[in-house]
Amino acid sequence: MTQAQAKDVKTSRMTVGKVLIKYRTIVILVVLMTIFSFLKPIFLNPINLLAIIKNMSYVLIAGLAMTFIITLGGLDLSVGSIAAVVGVGFALLVKGGLLPPVLALLIVVVGAMLLGSFNGLVIVKGKIEPFLVTLATLYIFRGIALMMTSGKPVPIVIPHFANIFGNGKLFNLIPTPVIISLLVFAVSWFLFNRTKFGFYVRSIGGNQEAARVAGIDISKVKLAAYTMSGLFASISGLIIAALFNGGLPDVGSDLALDSISGVILGGTAISGGAGSIFGTLGGCLIIAMLNNGMSLMGAQYHVQIFVKGMVIILAVLMDNAFKSRR
Amino acid sequence: MSFGENILELRHVSKTFPGVVALKNVDMMVRSGEVHALLGENGAGKSTLIKILSGYHQPDSGGELLIDGKPVTFKNPKEAIEASIITIYQELTLCPHMTVAENIVLDKQDQFKGILLRKQEFREIAVRALKDLNQSDIDPDWIVKDLSIAQQQVVEIAKAVTSKAKVVLMDEPTSSISQKDAEKLMDIIRGLRASGVAVVYISHRLHEIGCIADRITVLRDGALVGTVNCTDVTDKELITMMVGREQTTVYPKREVPIGDVVLKVENLASGELLKGISFEVRKGEILGIGGLVGSRRTEMLETLFGMREITTGKIFLNGEEFLPQNPRNAIKHRIAFVTEDRKKSGLVLCLPVHENINLVNAQRPSFMGYLNWPKLKAIANNQRKALNIRVSSIEQIVGFLSGGNQQKVALAKWLDFSPELIIFDEPTRGIDIGAKTEIYTIMGELAARGAAIIMVSSELPELISVADKILVMQEGRMRGILSKEEMTQERVMSLATQKALE
């Protein structure tokens, strides 16, 4: 009988654990906020909080596209390189009034979509693993960015650009990158949950064969997703360029891995099929809070990435515990 | 036949999952040297019972598991294996890229000393095991992924035998092998029995259990209905025990007026795989396709559905020539395909029921690709009611449903666009008799509404009672078409094995 009672206690504790694990993204967020605000009360200062989401913005945007890609069962390692090409390309196109800024903007955004669709085409037509293809284009696109400027940064001197994409503030309060990333977030959520495209992405990632037999054009959906990844990477690239006020060929090297981390922390399965746009928002927030909080505490970059890695392992372990208990 | 001691005993075993009682107070005794069949509809608790015996689940407190009269608890599958209880699952658990011999010795590495692999010893063990099973035609050096399902199963059994198994649990071992291979398997099982091993055998095929089992334990809704000697019961009584109601015919027949030709196939070929296939199927008609495993019936269906290239031959749909290019194109011509392997190509297991049902409907044109989920959910709910899919909510994840309900979901996704031709590949594989009957009823209704139906089935009684005519295939060639009057199990089998007999 005592054994049975012990078992009952164990079962009920497990259910609490289960709830904690199910909402683990929120749990980790709350824990981090509590720790940081306890150690550094300035952490909760609205200005600091706004800084956190501003610094998160371009990772979130890349991460939102990455959520589609990973749910689809794919991967895109090349987004950071695409962002660099966009920044450098824009800087060169507007240098000395060569092209009107709006036209230059259009050209780099379309160019980034072409780079993304190149990834998609090689993956679909060449039937090559997305990891291999985008690993290769990670180098190729970075090479393009470096070749365009011989490796040197190009300043952007046109008015308003930095204001619109980087350091401007709406109502003198909310940083513009935050506004942009929230717009992209809303569009992504809608696409993912309310349109055919999102539904196809989830079905293909869940069971490609079933999707094929159901008549879904798998190649088209994959191509669209990688093109979308290029598009979102270009928005990230423009924000980064605006924050630096110039096109830097070596920026964004952490963008792919940070956005993948955000997606995984948000509970999207790396094996595909199950993804969450809100999860990605939470996951990217975790990374941004970690970076910010530890900086406030005076931790060096070395320590920051160490802790970041530990948090990812912890989150994935929690995922597995959740799965095995179901 | 005399039986040995009670080798394995279950006492008052229950198993509760959150919200579900999967097993209620089940008692069962397994003796050495007997084949003990476990029978019940899907959801009756057979799988749960097997999982308890194999250490995957632990029974609720109060239940006991005894081996040779001594209570045991298995904390994990490894402990069950150490207690000489070996399970052969429906989904085989071999390493596909390793050889037969390596697979057979994989779980016995503790026996070998040192850190070097002793390939010669591995081979010897494998050769001996395969010889004991009378399966010397399997070479221990073959790579497992190149073997047929039936051969892989033999490797699994060889693995169990060399582990000195006292009890072998088999979960629907014949569900994916041909009748000929199934007979071979029966011989192997008889051999195991003769050597004193207890075999616990799950199957939906009653006639199979009739010829192999000594005793039968029937479960219904997680509770024990009873254990009977095989010689004491008829199939009909067993069915009554399983479903809890008298059932006059397992396969209901239907009378439907036969209309115009919907699909006409002339001399169809796909490379070397298929050659010389010609047939037609009319409105309201069910064309059965028989043949052994490896007769490329599935490949023929896939060719009709645009998944394989047509090299020669013509297909006419409602009198017009039609060249299926891909599934999308076939669907546009109102052809539906309920595939053989639900988990592999019929369903997206991680998605909910309503999304699976709408996998095809969602492709209808809409403004900017917007999906009207309330409307789609209503469609799913209608299909759920029409097909009697038993779920607590259409939000339930498909992967957790029983085989019969999964099959209904896989079928439901096609029905909202009123297909003119519905292709079924093994529609009742791995589902219980109650669900089978429902599937036949649904097929009858679809035929009555004017659909033409093509059905591949490996179960001859099913094929013969459901189909209006039967096309028999063998190694990608058509061997004949039997009309309702001509069809008997013997004739289908003789056509299907024609070449082998020549």
**Residue whose tokens read 């064309």:** B287
Coil, strand or helix at A77: coil
Size of interface A-B (CB pairs under 8 A): 80
**Pairwise CB contact (< 8 Å): A203 & B359:** yes
Residues of chain A contacting residue B369, judged by C-beta atoms under 8 Å apart: 195-197
Q: Full-prediction pTM beyond 0.80? A: no
Distance CA A216, CA B329 (A): 10
The helix (run of H) or strand (run of E) holding residue B487 is none
Domain assignment of residue B261, yes or no: no
**Pairwise CB contact (< 8 Å): B351 & A202:** yes
Least confident of A160-174, A231-245, B169-183, B398-412: B169-183
Q: How far is A207 from chain B (nearest CA, A)?
A: 5
Q: Does residue A281 register a pLDDT over 90? A: yes
Q: Does residue B155 register a pLDDT over 90? A: no
Q: Of A136-145, A270-279, B166-175, B453-462, give the range with the top mean pLDDT.
A: A136-145
Q: CB-side exposure of A144: number of CA atoms within 13 Å?
A: 19
**Pairwise CB contact (< 8 Å): A207 & B345:** yes
Q: What's the pLDDT at A123?
A: 96
Q: What's the pLDDT at B6?
A: 83
- Of chain A residues 165-204, which have a CB less than 8 A from chain B? 194-197, 199-200, 202-203
Q: Does residue A273 register a pLDDT over 50? A: yes
Name the residue among A4, A210, A274 with its Cβ closest to that of B61. A4
Residues of chain A contacting residue B16, judged by C-beta atoms under 8 Å apart: none
**Residue A97 corresponds to which tokens in the numbers above?**
């009034």
Q: Does residue B97 register a pLDDT over 80? A: no
Name the residue among B360, B368, B371 with its Cβ closest to that of A214. B360
Residues of chain A contacting residue B62, judged by C-beta atoms under 8 Å apart: 4
Q: Does residue A219 register a pLDDT over 60? A: yes
Instruction: Tell me the residue range of the domain where B116 lies.
Output: 6-243
Residues of chain B contacting residue A215, judged by C-beta atoms under 8 Å apart: 327-328, 330-332, 360, 363
Predicted confidence band at A326 (pLDDT cuts at 50, 70, 90)?
very low
Distance CA B409, CA B412 (A): 5
More confidently predicted of A244 and A96: A244
Q: Does residue B459 register a pLDDT over 50? A: yes
**Pairwise CB contact (< 8 Å): B369 & A197:** yes
The pLDDT mean for chain B works out to: 84
- Taking CA atoms, what residue in B is nearest to A6? B61
- Taking CA atoms, what residue in B is nearest to A15? B18
State pLDDT tens for residues A283-315.
Answer: 999 999 998 888 888 888 888 889 889 888 888
Q: Does residue B377 register a pLDDT over 90? A: yes
State pLDDT tens for residues A127-145.
Answer: 999 999 999 999 999 999 9
List, as own/partner pairs, every contact residues A124-127 make where C-beta atoms lie below 8 angstroms and the sequence separation is at least 24, other chains included: A124/A219, A124/A222, A124/A223, A125/A219
Q: How far is B18 from chain A (nearest CA, A)?
A: 9
Q: How far is B150 from chain A (nearest CA, A)?
A: 24
Domain assignment of residue B129, yes or no: yes
Q: Does residue A69 register a pLDDT over 90? A: yes
**For the structural domain made of A37-325, what CATH number should be given?**
1.10.3470
Residues of chain B contacting residue A196, judged by C-beta atoms under 8 Å apart: 362-363, 366, 369, 371
Least confident of A38-47, A220-229, B242-251, B371-380: B242-251
Residues of chain B contacting residue A217, judged by C-beta atoms under 8 Å apart: 328
Residues of chain B contacting residue A207, judged by C-beta atoms under 8 Å apart: 344-345, 347-350
Predicted confidence band at B424 (pLDDT cuts at 50, 70, 90)?
very high
**Residue B434 corresponds to which tokens in the numbers above?**
């109650």
Q: How far is A61 from chain B (nearest CA, A)?
A: 22
Domain assignment of residue B413, yes or no: no
Name the residue among B369, B370, B413 with its Cβ closest to that of A214. B413
Q: Going by C-beta distance under 8 Å and a sequence separation of 6 or more, which residues neighbour residue B305?
A: A213, B324, B327, B330, B335, B337, B423
Domain assignment of residue B105, yes or no: yes
Predicted confidence band at B453 (pLDDT cuts at 50, 70, 90)?
very high
Residues of chain A contacting residue B327, judged by C-beta atoms under 8 Å apart: 212-215
Distance CA B263, CA B266 (A): 10
Q: Does residue A22 register a pLDDT over 90? A: no
Q: Does residue B366 register a pLDDT over 90? A: no
B270 φ, ψ to 5°? -135, 100
Q: Does residue A6 register a pLDDT over 60? A: no
Q: Does residue B115 register a pLDDT over 70? A: no
- Taking CA atoms, what residue in B is nearest to A269? B350
- Show the CA angle centred on residue B55, arms to residues B128 and B203, nearest 5°: 70
**Pairwise CB contact (< 8 Å): A202 & B348:** yes
Predicted confidence band at B253 (pLDDT cuts at 50, 70, 90)?
low
Domain assignment of residue B407, yes or no: no
Residues of chain A contacting residue B307, judged by C-beta atoms under 8 Å apart: 212-213
Least confident of A223-232, B197-206, B343-352, B476-485: B197-206
**Rounded mean pLDDT of A91-105?**
88
State pLDDT tens for residues B119-138.
Answer: 788 888 888 888 887 777 88
Q: Does residue A185 register a pLDDT over 90? A: yes
Would you put residue B198 in left (φ > 0), alpha (ψ -120 to 50) or beta?
A: beta
The pLDDT mean for chain A works out to: 87
Domain assignment of residue B212, yes or no: yes
- As beta bridge partners, residue B15 has B23
Q: Does residue B266 register a pLDDT over 90? A: yes
**Rounded mean pLDDT of B448-452?**
91
Distance CA B107, CA B36 (A): 26
**Pairwise CB contact (< 8 Å): A199 & B305:** no
As to burial, measured by CB atoms within 10 angstroms (0-12 exposed, 13-18 middle, 19+ buried), residue B70 is: exposed
**Pairwise CB contact (< 8 Å): B370 & A194:** yes
Coil, strand or helix at B471: strand
**Residue whose tokens read 């090559």:** A128
Least confident of B44-58, B83-97, B242-256, B341-355: B242-256
State pLDDT tens for residues B477-499.
Answer: 898 999 988 887 777 877 877 64
More confidently predicted of B79 and A261: A261
Q: Does residue B500 register a pLDDT over 50? A: no
Report domain extents, chain A: 37-325
**Pairwise CB contact (< 8 Å): A273 & B363:** no
Q: Does residue B246 register a pLDDT over 80? A: no
**Residue A201 corresponds to which tokens in the numbers above?**
């992405």
List, as own/partner pairs, every contact residues B307-312 make where C-beta atoms lie below 8 angstroms and the sequence separation is at least 24, other chains included: B307/A212, B307/A213, B308/B270, B308/B273, B309/B270, B309/B271, B310/B268, B310/B269, B310/B270, B311/B269, B311/B270, B311/B271, B312/B267, B312/B268, B312/B269
**Rounded mean pLDDT of A147-158?**
87
The helix (run of H) or strand (run of E) holding residue B248 is none
**Pairwise CB contact (< 8 Å): A199 & B371:** yes
Number of domains in chain B: 1
Q: What's the pLDDT at B247?
A: 44
**Pairwise CB contact (< 8 Å): A195 & B346:** no
- As beta bridge partners, residue B269 has B312
